[in-house]
Amino acid sequence: MTPWKGWIIFGTVSIMLLVVLPLLNALPNESTFWLPDFYLNLLGKYLSLAIMGMGLGVLWGYAGILSLGQAVFFGLGGYSMGMHLMLQISGQQSKYGEAVPDFMVWNQVKELPFFWVPYHSFAFALASAVFLPVLFALLFGYLTFRSRIQGVYVAILTQALAFAAWLLFNRNEMRLGGTNGLTDYKTLLGFSLLSPTTQRGLYIITAVCLLVTYGLCLWLTRGKLGHIFRAIRDGENRLRFLGYSPTGFKMFVFALAAGLAGLAGALYVPQVGIITPSQIGVMPSLEVVVWVAVGGREALIGGPLGAVLINGLRSYLTTVAPQLWPFVLGALFVGVVLLFPSGVVGLPKQFERFMHRSGSRWKSGGRRSPLSAAAASGPSENPDKLSLDGEEVKASESNISAGAGAVAHVLFGSRVEDNGANKAKDGETTKQADERGVPLLRVENVTVSFEGFLALHDLNFSLMEEELRFVIGPNGAGKTTMLDVICGKVKPIQGKVIFKHATNLLALQEHEIANIGVGRKFQTPTVFPYHTVLDNLLLSFKTKKTVGATLVALQARPSHVGLLEILEFVGLGHHTQTFAGVLSHGQRQWLEIAMLLAQEPKLLLVDEPVAGMTGRERDKTGLLLEAIAREHATVLVIEHDMEFVRHFSNTVTVLHEGSLLCEGKMQEVQNDPRVLEVYLGREEEEHAADR
């Protein structure tokens, strides 16, 4: 959808909602176009619920957090406004002429409880309606997300919260009206709530709020924040290793949704005239989820659209055939999940796919994901055309070398290194370099146990600066586990990992380790499939990665220059706008490498970079790694491809059964009897097998 189209639609809808409908309502009752108060009021109610739906749309659709307790925040907002309105009717208008609300008089409560007192002020009530849910959400979110609770557990926890809140609000001792709730309002800010003009005004305010909050959410989610949310949804752990702490972002979006729900409650109550505990519990929270599911999770408009549709349907059905409503609602739940996962918003695309699929059914079978559909329609170029001509290969090798050097220099060369860098010069082993100075990374006596199985056993290992080190070893030797320990994925039961002589990496969390300069390329490519190639890099590149910094930098256009160079080098220059999920395996490997480079780390941990690559690509990778090592960064490579190792290595470390077996140049290592035994088995055993 082009921006112009979007603006036109937005404008039309705004004018409809803000100008046309209220005008129609303001007409005299007898005229043919008169919009009855009842319908305007109903629409106002729907619009306020739409705000709540939008909040969940951002929370669930973008960040992937399913909260089954939104109604709690709605209730907090609604009760805040309700309390204020109740206090407005005390005095002459109340039935008993007392200073306390009627229901308190019935319950023999003579004095206003202390927490009611501030609600005399409208400003306080409004502020409380929005910020009380926000504060509560921040607290709850902190406790929940800090423990890395994900997915279903969050849903269950929020559902328990809704249940508990419902139980609590039903009690009379809470002094909040008990099961009957708060109702019978008369005035708001001096305007009578029963007059049509006030209701019209409330409607307009609600519509304005909806449009403003829609704009706000749009702005927030179009920028980098939106990318981060979606990255949290698609690969939270991967995001950690890029240096982001998801906790803060999740708290932010959770609080945002809560605040919107609270606002919705505050707008809802004066228009509907009552707030009860039945609007707080488990069922109402689930209805919000249905709105978003039916409306569509993928677009921001889905939540509000679903809210209006479902509530409209419900109003209609509960007057015509009330017993049918739960059946319809239940069927909607099941239907949306099974048949229309993208909701109303996604219907056109789904229809398109269906037509496409039934047309080409003889070509291919099975379902298609949105990604493969994009693949079918997008450009399909193979950047790395395999060349079988040996001469071409040789000639381009020098080009590659130059290219690699250029990229490495751009990224890493501009950094100022402190003195005392310990380079393992050619021919030197780490030991000799050690004697010169302090290593960049030291792994000391690290032991990792998985339920008794020792993946790493008293491992001692160190790495000097500007070194390109290779680590090899048979399967199960603990190579990947060692990387896991270094970058914080796994915690050892004993040992130390010292980075740059000062920092103990074991005390830090994954994103902190990433932010101090340790980058990792994983064994299996874990790119973000629903982000474009460029977006993947934007998420990786070196910048401040806190919530605050991201909000501040929301509008700033990040410099793409360095990133484009990287992409050119890895061969994805033409694919900046391609979704990463569509790339081939090899292309994904390159993207991973590119993401690693974008982080500009001081220590690169590369796990099996050339798995699945062609010969030319292997050369490219090797040259790149060498160039990086030359430019003041340190590279640790795990590999199985012995040719590759032999060609590019300087020092090689061999791991076996969790500890260091031997270290040295490839020549020495290859002839070491211990290494031979480990890889090939003992001589006697070989002869035994022959017999």
Partner 1 sequence: MLIKQSVQIRLGRLSWTMVVCLLTSALLLGKGVELVYAEGPVTAESGRPNASSYLQGLASLDPTIQITALKTLGDIQDIAFLPALTALYDGTLHVWKDASGSEKVIIILRNIEPDGRETISLLNPFTGGELGKLNAAEALPEGEKLEMVTLRSGEGRRVMKAVLNGLRLFDPVVEVRRTTATTLGNAGDLSVLPALDQALSRESDKWVRHAIEEASNQLRLKDTDPEVRRAAAIRLGEIKGMRALSHLKALLTEDPLEPSDTVRVAIQGAIDSIESYQSYQSIVGITFSGISLGSILFIMGLGLAITYGLMGVINMAHGEMMMIGAYTAFVLQEAFFKYLPPSLHDSYIFLALPAAFVVTGAVGLLLERTVIRFLYGRQLETLLATWGVSMFLQQSARWYFGDLTSVNPPTWMRRGMEPMVGLVLPYTRIFIIGLAAVALLGVYLLFSRTRVGLLVRAVTQNRNMSACVGISTRKVDSWTFAFGSALAGIAGCAISLISNVDPEVGKSYIVESFMVVVVGGVGKLAGTVVSAMVIGMFNKILEPLIGGTGGAIYGKLFILVLIILFLQVRPTGLFPPKGRAAQVGS
> Where do contacts with partner 1 occur on this chain (CB under 8 A)?
66, 143-144, 146-153, 155-157, 159-161, 163-164, 167-168, 171, 173, 235-238, 282, 286, 289-290, 293, 323, 326-327, 329-338, 341, 450-451, 489-490
Joined together, the tokens standing for residue 274 give 């009552």
- Taking the C-alpha atoms of residue 431 and residue 428, their distance in angstroms, rounded to an integer, is 8
What's the min distance (Å) between Cβ of 480 and partner 1?
11
| 123 vs 334, beta carbon nearer partner 1 | 334
Joined together, the tokens standing for residue 217 give 């959410």
| 64 vs 405, beta carbon nearer partner 1 | 64
In this structure, are residues 63 and 232 in contact, taking their beta carbons and an 8 Å threshold?
A: yes
Joined together, the tokens standing for residue 192 give 């009578």
| 61 vs 270, beta carbon nearer partner 1 | 61
| 216 vs 337, beta carbon nearer partner 1 | 337
In this structure, are residues 427 and 666 in contact, taking their beta carbons and an 8 Å threshold?
A: no
| 464 vs 514, beta carbon nearer partner 1 | 514
- For residue 664, give the nearest of 420, 433, 466 by alpha carbon: 433
Joined together, the tokens standing for residue 314 give 């419900």
What's the min distance (Å) between Cβ of 293 and partner 1?
6
| 219 vs 450, beta carbon nearer partner 1 | 450
In this structure, are residues 449 and 493 in contact, taking their beta carbons and an 8 Å threshold?
A: yes
What's the min distance (Å) between Cβ of 282 and partner 1?
7
Half-sphere exposure of 481 (CA within 13 A, CB side): 25
| 121 vs 237, beta carbon nearer partner 1 | 237
In DSSP terms, 566 is beta-bridged to none
| 150 vs 543, beta carbon nearer partner 1 | 150
In this structure, are residues 666 and 679 in contact, taking their beta carbons and an 8 Å threshold?
A: no
- For residue 535, give the nearest of 590, 589, 587, 598 by alpha carbon: 598
What's the min distance (Å) between Cβ of 510 and partner 1?
10
Helix, strand, coil content of the chain in percent (nearest 5):
60, 10, 30
Q: What's the CA angle centered on 660, arms 658 and 661, to 5 degrees?
A: 110
Say how far residue 174 (Cα) sits from the centre of its chain: 38
What's the min distance (Å) between Cβ of 103 and partner 1?
17
| 235 vs 622, beta carbon nearer partner 1 | 235
| 338 vs 561, beta carbon nearer partner 1 | 338
- Taking the C-alpha atoms of residue 141 and residue 247, their distance in angstroms, rounded to an integer, is 8
| 210 vs 289, beta carbon nearer partner 1 | 289
What's the min distance (Å) between Cβ of 394 and partner 1?
42
> Quick one: DSSP state of residue 417?
P
What's the min distance (Å) between Cβ of 526 and partner 1?
9
Q: Which contacts (CB < 8 Å, 24+ apart) does range 452-459 have?
A: 454/658, 455/481, 455/658, 456/481, 456/482, 456/485, 456/492, 456/658, 456/659, 457/657, 457/658, 457/659, 458/495, 458/658, 458/659, 459/495, 459/655, 459/658, 459/659, 459/660
Measured between its terminal Cα atoms, the distance across the chain in Å is: 73
What's the min distance (Å) between Cβ of 563 and partner 1?
25
Phi, psi of 461 (to 5 degrees): -160, 135
Joined together, the tokens standing for residue 335 give 């239907």
What's the min distance (Å) between Cβ of 514 and partner 1?
15
What's the min distance (Å) between Cβ of 48 and partner 1?
24
What's the min distance (Å) between Cβ of 342 and partner 1?
12
